[in-house]
Amino acid sequence: MALSESVTTCLSPPVHYVICKLGFEKKGTYDINNILSESGEVCWQAVTEHVCYLESDQSVDYIKSIRSLGPVCESVNLHFKSLTKEQFVIRYTLWFRWTNCTELFLEVFDVLQYTQTTEVALGIMKLTSCLERALGDVYLLMDKDCPFLLRDLLSSEQLAVVFGQTVMDVLKVFIGSPYGLNLRNVLWHGFASPQEIPAKYCAMLLFLTAGLGQLLQTYLLQTKCILVHRPYVIFIGLEELDGFPDLNHETLSIAEELVKLSHFVLKTMLPFWMAALTAFKQSRYADCVILLLPQLEVGLRLLFTTTNKCPNRLLTAEPSALYTTFDEMLAKHLDNEEVNQLPAVLEEPAMEFLWDFLNHQEGPRIRDHLSHGEINLETFPREVANQIVAFAITLLCRFSDEGMFPFKEHMVIKPLMNCASCYRSRFHPISLLKKQVLECMKSIDSWPELPTVPEEHIQIIKGLEGNTEASTLILMISEIVSQLQQYMPQNSCSSDDPVNRVLTERLLIELCDTRICTLHCPRRVLEILVVLRKISTQCHQVSQQVIASTELRYKQWMNKSLRSRQRHNYQRMLNSIKVLSPVLRLILVLMTLELVSVHLVCKKNPFDYQQYLKFLKSVLQYTENLVTYTSPEKNKWDETMELSNKALVKIRKISGRKQMLMQLAT
C-alpha cells in the first residue's frame, strides 16, 4: 500500500489531542448571556477568566486554557446557529468593519450553518489571514514597522495597549502560538485534514473578531486616532506568469480523476483537492489557491520525507521543534548539513517554478502574501490560480503509478507536462537581469529614430563630424570588442564593423537564451548580480533621459525657442550621443557575457574576487555619473565624453589582463 494511503493524520499525537480532543473534555455549555450582552457586546471578562496561567512564570497555561474555553466555543457556535443571516448581519456587521474584510466575515457565518469540513477549514484560513492584516493595521497606530510573524504581533506591547493583555492571551490560545491550538499554522502548512478542525473554533474566531472591533472602537474614540488600512499587494507583470496554457473544463475533469489515483495526494486530504478544483471552476480563484497551496506543501513533504528517509518529519512538530515547511524542503541542505534529495527528485524546472511563485523576493510570493492577508481575495487573478493548478496537475501525473500512462499522454495533459519540463525561472535575479538588459538595448536601439535637426540647418551646427575625441573613443570600443569576440557566439563575429555589427540586440538575445543555473546560487554570485542589475538600471535611465532631451530640444529648435547657449548645448548633445550609444551597448554586451559565466566567480581567490567586484563597481559609478550628467538639470554632454574615455580605458585594461569571468571560462 502506498504511503499516501496509509497515512491517516499529519498531526502528531500531542497536537492531535490538543486540537481534536482537549476542548471537548469539559462537558456542557455556557449560557451565551454570560458572554454576550443583549445589544451584542462581548463581555470580555467572562471570556478572559477562562485563560489559565502557569504558577512558575505567569505565562499562559495552554492546556488548561483550551480545556476551559472548549464549552465557551460550543456556546458561541450554538448561538450563531440560532441566528438568521439577517439577525447576524444587523448585530455584527459594524464590528467587522475594522478588518476591512466585512463581507468575508459574513460569509464565514454562512459556512457555520452548513459545517462542511473543507469550508470550515477554508473559513479559518481566510479569517486568520485577514485578522492578522487588520491587527497589523492597529499595530501601526503606534509603531512604523509591523512584525512579519503573527506570533510576534500577538505578543507585542502595542496591541496589548489597545486590546488589553488578557484579550491578546485569548487570541494566542487559538492562533499564533505553537503551544496553543495554532489553527492558522496547522491549516496553512497543510497538517490538518478537513475533519480534524472543529467548527466551534471557527465560530469562536468570528466571535473574537467582533469583540476586538468593539474594543478598538472604544480605543479610537478615546485617543481620536483613525485606523488606516494598508493597500493590498497587487500582482504586476502577470504576462510573466505564462508557464502553462489556460486550463479548460476537460483538463479539470481529468485532474479530478488524477487526484483520486496519484501518490502525491494523501487520501485524508482528498476533499481539499476536490474543493480546490471546484473553486477554480466556479471562478473563486483565491479560494482555489488557498486550498491548494497547503496541499502542495503536504505532497512535497511526503516526497521530502520519503527521499530523505525521515518519515517522522511528515507530522507536525512539537513546539520545541520546527515544522518541515516549504522553506526547508526547497533548501539545498537539510538541517544536519546533508544534501537535500528533494530537488533531484523534483528536477530543476519544478524547483524553479516553486522558487518563482513562493520564494523569490521580486516574484509573486503567493503563499506569504495570501497567508498574511496582503491580497484582496475578491480580485485575485485567474492567471495566478491557473499556473498553480496546472503545476499541481503535473505533479499528480509525475508521482503516480505506471498505470497512469494514458493520463500523461492525454491530449490536454501532455502540453502541461511539456511546459513543466521546460519551465525556466522568471523571477530569479539572473532572469530579471536578462529581461532588463534586453529592454535597455531596445531603448538604445530607438535612438537613430529620434528626430534630429533638418538638413538645411546642419551647417549652423558645426562640429558634428570630424570630432577627434569621438573617433578615439569609437576606436577604443572596436579594440575592446575585438578582444572579446572570441567569447561570443561564432555567428556574431564580424571584423569589418565590430561596433555596429557585433554590439547588437540579436547578440544579446542569443546570449540571454543561454541556460544559467538559478537554483541555490552562492552568495558571491548573488553579490555580482546585484551590481550588474544596478548597472543595467542606470544604463536604461541614461537612455530614457537621452530620448526625452532629444525630443524636447528638437521641438524647441523647430519652435525657434532655443537661446544661443542652448543651441550649442544641443550640438554637444548630438555629438555625444553618437558615442554614448556604442559605449552603452558595449557595457550591456559585456555584462551579459559576464552573466553567462557568472558562476565562475566562485573560482576566484578572495583577493581577485575583491578586485573584480571593485572593477564592476567602478563601471556602476560611471553609469551613475552618466545619469547625473545627462539629466535635464545638468546637461553636461562634453563631460560624458571624458567619463566614457576613463571607463573604456579601465575596461580595456581588465579585459587585456584576462580578469573577466568569460575569460575564466576558457
Name beta bridge partners: 333: 339
Residues 414 and 433 in one domain: no
Taking residues 414-428, report their average pLDDT: 94
Residue 73 lies in a domain: yes
| pLDDT bucket at 499, cuts 50 / 70 / 90 | confident
What confidence tens digit (pLDDT) does each residue in 282-297 have?
Answer: 999 999 999 999 999 9
Q: Answer for the pair 71, 30: CB distance below 8 angstroms, yes or no.
A: yes
| pLDDT bucket at 463, cuts 50 / 70 / 90 | very low
The backbone region for 198, taken as left when phi is positive above 0, alpha when psi lies in -120 to 50, beta otherwise, is: beta
Instruction: Work out the percent of the chain whose per-residue pLDDT is above 90.
Output: 77
Range of the domain at 397: 238-421
CA angle 266, 267, 272 (to 5 degrees): 80
Residues 347 and 295 in one domain: yes
C-alpha cell at 354: 516553486
**Residue finishing a domain among 223, 256, 281:** 223
Q: Which of 242-251, 322-331, 438-447, 521-530 has the lowest mean pLDDT?
A: 322-331
Residues 147 and 177 in one domain: yes
CA-closest candidate to residue 371, choices 111, 106, 183, 184: 184
Residues 43 and 65 in one domain: yes
What CA–CA distance (Å, rounded) separates 645 from 647?
6
* Burial bucket for residue 393 (CB in 10 Å: 0-12, 13-18, 19+): buried
Residues 384 and 435 in one domain: no
CA-closest candidate to residue 638, choices 541, 556, 570, 586: 570
What CA–CA distance (Å, rounded) separates 107 from 124?
11
What CA–CA distance (Å, rounded) separates 65 from 296?
33
- Can you give the pTM of this predicted structure? 0.93
C-alpha cell at 609: 574576487
CA-closest candidate to residue 25, choices 66, 61, 53, 85: 66
Name the 3-class secondary structure at 450.
coil
Residue 80 lies in a domain: yes
Cell 457586546 belongs to 41
Residue 229 lies in a domain: no
What CA–CA distance (Å, rounded) separates 8 from 340?
26
What confidence tens digit (pLDDT) does each residue in 315-329 have?
Answer: 887 676 777 889 899
| Helices 199-223 and 165-174: angle between axes, nearest 10 degrees | 150
**Is a pLDDT exceeding 70 seen at residue 136?**
yes
What confidence tens digit (pLDDT) does each residue in 107-129 have?
Answer: 999 999 987 889 999 999 999 99
Residue 255 lies in a domain: yes
Name beta bridge partners: 53: 60
Q: What pLDDT does 408 receive?
A: 67
* Burial bucket for residue 424 (CB in 10 Å: 0-12, 13-18, 19+): middle
Q: Where are the alpha helices (DSSP H) in 559-635?
A: 564-596, 606-629
Q: Which of 46-55, 211-220, 409-418 has the lowest mean pLDDT?
A: 409-418
C-alpha cell at 453: 535637426
| pLDDT bucket at 494, cuts 50 / 70 / 90 | low
**Residue finishing a domain among 374, 395, 421:** 421
What CA–CA distance (Å, rounded) separates 502 from 482?
10
> What is the biggest distance separating any 2 CA atoms in the chain, rounded to whole angstroms?
100
Residue 325 lies in a domain: yes
Residues 164 and 201 in one domain: yes
Name the average pLDDT for the chain: 92
**DSSP letter at 148?**
S
Residue 228 lies in a domain: no
Residues 403 and 445 in one domain: no
Q: Answer for the pair 259, 265: CB distance below 8 angstroms, yes or no.
A: yes
Residues 250 and 285 in one domain: yes
Q: What pLDDT does 335 receive?
A: 87
The backbone region for 562, taken as left when phi is positive above 0, alpha when psi lies in -120 to 50, beta otherwise, is: beta
**Is a pLDDT exceeding 50 seen at residue 518?**
yes
Q: What pLDDT does 85 receive?
A: 96
* Amino acid (one-letter) located at 476: M
Residue 231 lies in a domain: no
| pLDDT bucket at 561, cuts 50 / 70 / 90 | confident
Q: What pLDDT does 464 receive?
A: 45
Q: Answer for the pair 421, 349: CB distance below 8 angstroms, yes or no.
A: yes
What confidence tens digit (pLDDT) does each residue in 576-591 have?
Answer: 898 999 999 999 999 9
| Number of residues in the chain | 666
**Is a pLDDT exceeding 60 seen at residue 456?**
no
**Residue finishing a domain among 194, 223, 252:** 223
Cell 530620448 belongs to 547
Residues 46 and 156 in one domain: yes
Q: Answer for the pair 377, 281: CB distance below 8 angstroms, yes or no.
A: no
**Is a pLDDT exceeding 70 seen at residue 492?**
no
**Is a pLDDT exceeding 60 seen at residue 462?**
no
Q: Answer for the pair 171, 278: CB distance below 8 angstroms, yes or no.
A: no
What confidence tens digit (pLDDT) does each residue in 66-99 have?
Answer: 999 999 999 999 999 999 999 999 999 999 999 9
Taking residues 635-653, report their average pLDDT: 93
Residues 394 and 436 in one domain: no
Q: What pLDDT does 582 receive?
A: 95
Residues 648 and 542 in one domain: yes
**DSSP letter at 175?**
T
**Is a pLDDT exceeding 90 seen at residue 431?**
yes
What CA–CA distance (Å, rounded) separates 585 from 507?
11
Residue 254 lies in a domain: yes
What CA–CA distance (Å, rounded) separates 50 from 305?
39
CA angle 111, 112, 116 (to 5 degrees): 60
**Is a pLDDT exceeding 80 seen at residue 459?**
no
Q: How many domains does the chain have?
A: 3
* Amino acid (one-letter) located at 496: D
C-alpha cell at 282: 466556479
**Is a pLDDT exceeding 80 seen at residue 1?**
no
C-alpha cell at 562: 532655443
Taking residues 552-575, report their average pLDDT: 85
What confidence tens digit (pLDDT) does each residue in 248-278 have?
Answer: 999 999 999 999 989 999 999 999 999 999 9
What CA–CA distance (Å, rounded) separates 124 from 538?
46
Q: What pLDDT does 298 receive?
A: 96
CA distances from 41 to 131, 398, 512 (A): 19, 54, 63
CA angle 219, 222, 226 (to 5 degrees): 65
C-alpha cell at 420: 513543466
**DSSP letter at 188?**
H
What CA–CA distance (Å, rounded) separates 198 from 178?
18
Residues 260 and 203 in one domain: no
**Is a pLDDT exceeding 80 seen at residue 3?**
no
Q: What pLDDT does 273 receive?
A: 98
Q: What pLDDT does 301 receive?
A: 96
- The larger pLDDT score, comparing residue 666 to residue 133, is at 133
Name the 3-class secondary structure at 431.
helix
Q: Answer for the pair 400, 263: CB distance below 8 angstroms, yes or no.
A: yes
CA-closest candidate to residue 508, choices 492, 490, 524: 492
Q: What pLDDT does 466 receive?
A: 47
**Is a pLDDT exceeding 90 seen at residue 2?**
no
| Helices 270-281 and 382-398: angle between axes, nearest 10 degrees | 140
* Amino acid (one-letter) located at 86: E
Name the 3-class secondary structure at 457.
helix
| pLDDT bucket at 495, cuts 50 / 70 / 90 | low
**Is a pLDDT exceeding 90 seen at residue 600?**
yes
